[in-house]
Structure 1
Amino acid sequence: MFLGIDIGTTAIKFAVIADGKIKFQQTSPVTTYREQHMNYQRATELLAVLKVGIQSIPKDMREALETISFSVAMHSVLPWGEGLDDAIYIWSDTQAEQTIAAFKQQAVASAFYQRTGTPIHPMSPFAKLLYFQQQARFPERTHYYGIKELIMHYFTGEFVIDYATASATGLFNLLERTWDDEILAFIGISKQQLAPLVDTTATFSLEPSAATELKIPATATVVVGASDGCLAAYASYIATDIPNSLTIGTSASVRKVTTQPTFDSTNQNFCYYLNEKYYVTGAPSNNGGCVLEWASQLYADTPTEFFENLPNALKQSPIGANGLRFEPFINGERAPLWQADVTGTLKNIRIQHTKEDMIRSVVEGILFNIRTLAETVNVTDNLSLSGGFFKSEMLREMTADILGVDCYLSDYNEPIMGLYYLIYGRQITPAPIETIALSLENHEQYTEVFKNYFSK
């Protein structure tokens, strides 16, 4: 049996798979702390949640485990050394905002992006480490790891990081597949302060202490795995044969599986390694389902009430929300703006506008921004969908109509399935796929609204 573990910024997901079928799955929440510009998790807490989650897998399945592998959230930094606390700074940490704004003005910024495929933004470990070094925040010999290195150390006794997760750090030379000497020198750190690099399918022996504590076979093999974004895109591709995918969870991302690295210095798409054959290119947004969660607090007494009434509210306002325009950048924005300090805006509001108009404008704003991302990544045909946003049939239909492409939904589009495909290939029972066909009439109306939607 195979155990896939997906470690995200809000939860850890577990799934046991055998013969291409999911036999067991569960989700355990994790805590993120926010203090001004600092967004972080605790390493000890993350490990504790991980251990409890594995120990709660049915005994017979645990005892039959043969392979364990990991998907992790990108862009995490864990300063590691004697006397340091266990904060893991995650992608949404914005301490480096001013540092990276100044760095963008330097000539090397574009060159560093072209070598790494990581956009120049406060989210990246490059930005965080540059800030830490400028502030002399940590001792000179501090090691800088992340979630993947922490987990691998517990399970194998070794600090290692896979190429996919490393390629989202802004420190990894994508073509040479090494830590980039010039970038490290610019920051002022050495390769010895980072974990050794391995390919995404590299295998390791299980640490005996972990086997004993978790009550799993000491013979189980550990596969290092990859990053959640790359694995979600790969899962969508294998499950549906569609290279283009859209995930909307808390945040959002449009991705494309390609066989060649692709860079765009103007729009700064990301381009990350997956395996010897594939790269994943795309554009991420800070403002996905979290914007709807925010709206649910404004327009209903409870989130449950809001989401139950959402389809009806959307039907009570026409396409274009009677002229309301909502720019959804309430968390700053990555693509297409790459501006951490940009803010959201509700424009054209008049006394005749209703609550339903406002709700529709919020949804349209989210999806028009996604349309901008899709154009950035040059997605012009079929699109595979994943994420909690698409639990709503109405939202699935609006997505197809606004983007102007037929969309497809499969239960096998998640990062854990990407891990399984990465290790075992296509040895899986085909899953049912729901088709969401676009309405050309609605698409034409949305296109008229979109023409000047984000104009100043």
Structure 2
Amino acid sequence: MTQKFKIGIDIGTTSTKAILYDEHFEVVDAASKEYLTIREKMGMAEQNPDLILAAVQSVIKRLIEQTYPQSKKITTLSFSSAMHSLMIVSTEGEPLTPLYTWADNQSSFQLEKAKAVQDLDWVYKKTGTPIHPMSPFSKLLWLQADSPELLVGGNRIIGIKEYITYFLTGELKVDYSIASATGLFNLQSLDWDPDIISFLGIEQEVLSDPVDTNYVFKRINPVAYKEIGLSLETQIIIGASDGCLANLGLNAIANNEVAMTIGTSGAVRMVSDHIVLDPEGRTFCYYLAKDKWVIGGAVNNGGNAFEWFASILSKTEVMNYDEINNLMETIQPGADGLLFFPYLNGERSPLWDASVQAHFIGLSANHTTGHLIRAVMEGVLYNLVEVLNILETNAGPAKKLKVNGGFLRSAFWKQMAADIFNKTLTITPQFESSCLGAVSIDQMDYLEELKKMRVIEVIPIEENVKAYQKSYELYQKLSIPIQQIHEIKANHRNN
């Protein structure tokens, strides 16, 4: 019997990764290609979409070349991509703007101006997308005010995955998952919301046709296929967003199973069989598949907070990451009363405030470098606990906590997470869960295969749990005064 292969492609913010899987979802090979983000001024986070397209072509071509002649048996390409990206293209598909990534906050002023005129909670209630500069909704408010000429003449409004799949197929389609993270897509009707489109002053015809996440493209671009080396029989499945597919790849798709990711940033996501919105708009609700909604919160500050402190430390002390970890291990849980509110890059969930700033609280002459770095990592995790608490309030208790991301490389960080959440962490040997989710979106019965995989569990240490609970209680009590400090500073700047 001829063996068949699939490629899962994850178009991320810093790189594109592609993984070749066999029929049993075992990794055969992998490739990745990085690209730059342009940050020439405050709030800017733009990319060149053609460099991302080149990266996608490169990683697919590399896998095909490395696996020839088996590459002729690649049956499907399936896509994952980062959410909230936006670009304007001409009617011929040529870029008229850079790609504005989720991290681009240039629309902040225009969004605040719109919020001052009217309450925008109605947008969240229709779409499940929090009101924040990351969203295409906010970016379109900005472009309509700043460059209205871009939004006329039939120019198309798309995201990065649409740009890539249009090149490969000639079809402009957007999956329900990516669409549900734009702030323009009605969760009930699974279509573009006419009230929001009217509010933004655009026409529905300039948006891509929404399709389900298991949609197989009907056409291909033979020139693009030949250039990459793909068989003309290889099908392309549209897939979903990276966060939603991470849950699928971690096999965290049963009701109230939770997936937590800590990489550069972080996220906590829970799956529900129905739409779940937060009364205060603090969490998102995005589509994964029929009767599967991913609710959760993404935070801006994860491993990048550790990187920030390590970079400062490297200017005064020459230390590698293992030595910094060893410093943390010498400090007791709770960092002897030192707390860190980790808003170094503003914050998404649970605050949804792009301008909020980080704070150390309780710093004294008795605290050492070890205390500081431990407080930083504890603060990152406390912030994620805040998100999980909101999810549990709205959707019920979490059943399992499945984790992935760069923090898994550190046994100390894994134990810290288990202790702070007071939950057993479940870790699978699979990596790049979004790629795995992408290749399995059309056959979720693959979960039977995943159930056979070996898992690692990290169990909370009771003594540490008690210490962290006491520290977290103080963190919660101080979170409101911290926000008040931020408001005072903002008012002072504006006077």
TM-score w.r.t. the length of structure 1 is 0.95
User: What is residue 181 of structure 2 aligned with on the other side?
Assistant: 168
For 2:398 and 2:264, locate their aligned partners in 1 and report how far apart those are by CA, in whole Å. 24
SS of 1:127's equivalent?
A: helix
Cα offset, 1:301, TM superposition: 5.9
Determine the structure 2 residue equivalent to 1:224. 238
Equivalences for residues 21-420 of structure 1 within 5 A:
21-36=26-41, 37-57=43-63, 58=66, 59-81=68-90, 85-105=96-116, 107-139=118-150, 140-141=152-153, 142-204=155-217, 205-237=219-251, 243-300=257-314, 305-378=319-392, 380-412=398-430, 414-420=433-439
* 2:29 aligned counterpart, secondary structure: strand
Q: CA distance change for structure 1 residues 239 and 337 in 2, over 3 Å: closer, same or farther?
A: closer
Distance 1:106 1:173 in 2: 23
For 2:174 and 2:316, locate their aligned partners in 1 and report how far apart those are by CA, in whole Å: 41
Residue 107 of structure 1: how far off its partner (Å): 4.7
Asked if 1:451 is matched to 2:469, the reply is no
Displacement of 1:358: 0.6
Instruction: Indicate conservation of the 8 Å contact 1:8/1:72, yes or no.
Output: yes
Q: Secondary structure at the match of 1:341?
A: coil
| Deviation of 1:420 (Å) | 2.4
Aligned with 1:112: secondary structure?
helix
CA distance in 2, matches of 1:296, 1:14: 30
1:300-332 deviation digits (Å, cap 9, x = unpaired) = 369994421233111211112122111110000
1: CA distance between counterparts of 2:45 and 2:436?
Answer: 28
Whether 1:7 aligns to 2:21 is no
* AA at the equivalent of 1:161: V
Q: Is the 8 Å Cα contact of residues 239 and 412 (structure 1) preserved in structure 2?
A: no
Opposite residue 440 of structure 1, the aligned amino acid is E
Amino acid paired to 1:446: Y
Q: Name structure 1 gaps, 5 residues minimum.
A: none
1:237–1:257 CA contact under 8 A, matched in 2: no
2:250 counterpart SS class: helix
CA distance in 2, matches of 1:45, 1:240: 37
In 1, Cα distance between equivalents of 2:365 and 2:241: 47
1:421 shift after superposition: 2.5
- Aligned equivalents of 2:345, 2:187: Cα separation in 1: 29
Q: Which moved more, 1:134-143 or 1:248-257?
A: 134-143
Name the aligned partner's letter for residue 127 of structure 1.
S
Instruction: Say which is worse superposed, 405-414 or 223-232, in terms of deviation.
Output: 405-414
CA distance in 2, matches of 1:302, 1:210: 51
Gaps of 5+ in 2: 482-495
Sequence identity percentage:
32
CA pair 304-89 structure 1, distance change in 2 beyond 3 A? farther
1:421 match: 440
Question: How far 1:132 moved relative to its partner?
Answer: 0.7
Q: What letter matches 1:143 in structure 2?
A: R
Q: 1:240 to 1:188 in 2, by over 3 A?
A: closer
Report if aligned partners of 1:240, 1:433 keep a CA contact under 8 Å in 2.
no
Partner-residue secondary structure (3-state), 1:104: helix
Aligned partners of 1:259 and 1:279 also within 8 Å: yes
The answer to which structure has the higher helix fraction is 2
What residue identity is the alignment partner of 2:7?
L
Structure 1 equivalent of residue 461 of structure 2:
439
When residues 219 and 115 of structure 1 are mapped into structure 2, their CA distance, relative to the original with a 3 A threshold, is same
- 1:17 to 2:24 alignment: no
User: What residue identity is the alignment partner of 2:23?
Assistant: D
For 2:317 and 2:203, locate their aligned partners in 1 and report how far apart those are by CA, in whole Å.
48
Match of 2:492 in 1: none
What letter corresponds to residue 398 of structure 1 in structure 2? M
Between the aligned partners of 2:464 and 2:367, the Cα distance in structure 1 is 22
- Alpha-carbon RMSD across the aligned residues, in angstroms, is 2.0
